[in-house]
Amino acid sequence: MLKAPKHPHTQALLSVLPESPERVVLTGEPPDPTRIPGGCRFHARCQVPASGKAASEGADGRCSSELLQVPPAVPEAQAACYFAKRSVPTSA
Ligand code: SF4
């Protein structure tokens, strides 16, 4: 799974490895742990909404407001992301 991460945060973390073809540069600040935001806890820094990909698919509000479930990304793995099944950008 580390060779083909489905979650954008995992993609960003692994992009710092020397063998990664592309570096993901996250923007924004980590959330205050005493005031965790609603929706996906990664939404304030995620490269998918930041790139406009979520908005272009009419789903920008889902990341910041909907209670995130853990949908199956591929049969042998799961990722807590609305866009895990889709091709997500690896950089903002
Ligand atoms: S649900 Fe939205 S904000 Fe959360 S990781 Fe997926 S694309 Fe990013």
What is the Cα 35 distance to its own chain's centre?
20
Q: What is the largest CA-CA distance in the chain?
A: 36
Please indicate whether residue 6, judged by its CB atom, sits closer than 6 Å to ligand 1: no
From the CA of 27, how far away is ligand 1's center (Å)? 14
Which element (helix H / strand E) includes 74? strand 72-74
Model pLDDT, residue 90:
46
Low-confidence ranges of the chain (pLDDT < 50): 89-92
Nearest atom within ligand 1 for CA of residue 48: 7
Please indicate whether residue 43, judged by its CB atom, sits closer than 6 Å to ligand 1: yes
The pTM score is 0.78
The residue assigned the tokens 């304030």 is 44
Model pLDDT, residue 6:
84
The residue assigned the tokens 């063998």 is 19
Q: How far apart are CA 52 and CA 8, in angstroms?
A: 14
Residues forming a β-bridge with 72: 78
Model pLDDT, residue 92:
43
Which of 46, 57, 67, 68 has most ligand 1 atoms within 8 Å of CB, for mutation? 46
The answer to whether 60 and 46 have CB atoms below 8 angstroms apart is: no
Model pLDDT, residue 8:
92
